[in-house]
Amino acid sequence: MAVTVGSGEYRYELVEGWGQLPDGWEFKQVAAVAVDDNDEVYVFSRGGHPVTVFAKDGTFIRSFGEGDFPSAHGMCWGENDTVWLVDNGDHTVKQYTKAGEHVRTLGTRGAEGADGQPFNKPTDAAVAGNGDLYISDGYGNTKVHVYSQSGDYKFGWGQDGHRTTLNPGGIGVGIGDFNTPHNIWVHEDIVYVADRENGRVQLFDLKGNHKESWTDFIQPTDIYIDPRHPDTVYVGELRNRMSIANSKGEVQSRWGRFPTDEPGQFYAVHGIWTDSEQSLYCGEVLEGQRIQKFRRI
């Protein structure tokens, strides 16, 4: 019997068994996923083969990055058919071609940046329309750093700001403050930051000026907007949920109720993306250690 999830206009059918690895390989923690213009699906995980590439039907194509990533975390597409891969274990953001050839590394491998400086356990990256690279430096720092396309540092913003048990929704925490900026996305000159431990998504302009905050989320881990469907905002949540909002941050569909490996449900959503058919791919960490594909109904 097919597993269906979601509600309203956003209903999906689980594609069970999607993503067949070669014999003896494992995903381990699936930190990020990204789909290219040919609907090839790149999965960034913490197993022995960090980047695994699949056809839309789940057929394995190739892998790369072996030995280069102690702790896979975030991923985004760069210019000229490249991919940026963020490693919170060795404090770097590395650029590779889609064929797996190393292009450049930002940060010093194995060296934490000084207080507030790049990088101390970075979490994710996103490329703006002007070519600048925005990086959330989120576990050891509470910053967003901005680099030019050529890899030159431009500026950064953010400071530590914690919600408390008295303010579980982040009320009283300063706008623009972060408590684990876990993911970043840029769309139409708006920078979206998943401020995970403050339970909110913060929106900024390209200079880091705060625009608004969305608070109807539990530990948001990943934000994705398909430029072909800009009014739909996908938000993965560490606490077992997948949410789909409109461009105002109003949730339109949501599923996931408790930590489980039940098909179609979640332990911990960590990486999300869609393909040209609006199928949704969700990677999981913690006990999840899998990727699931949901076909739009």
Any idea which of 65-74, 80-89, 152-161, 168-177 has the lowest mean pLDDT?
A: 168-177
Any idea which of 114-118, 170-174, 188-192 has the lowest mean pLDDT?
A: 170-174
Q: How far apart are CA 44 and CA 22, in angstroms?
A: 16
Mean local confidence (pLDDT), 39-48: 97
Domains and CATH numbers, the chain: 4-296 (2.120.10.30)
Residue 43 in this model has a pLDDT that exceeds 80: yes
Residues of the chain above pLDDT 70, percent: 96
**Whole-prediction pTM value?**
0.95
Residue 170: per-residue pLDDT: 46
Beta strands in 198-290 (DSSP E): 200-205, 210-214, 220-224, 232-237, 241-246, 251-255, 269-274, 280-284
Per-residue pLDDT tens digits for 195-207: 999 999 999 999 9
Per-residue pLDDT tens digits for 240-270: 999 999 999 999 999 998 999 999 999 999 9
Per-residue pLDDT tens digits for 127-172: 999 999 999 999 999 999 999 999 999 999 998 876 544 444 444 5
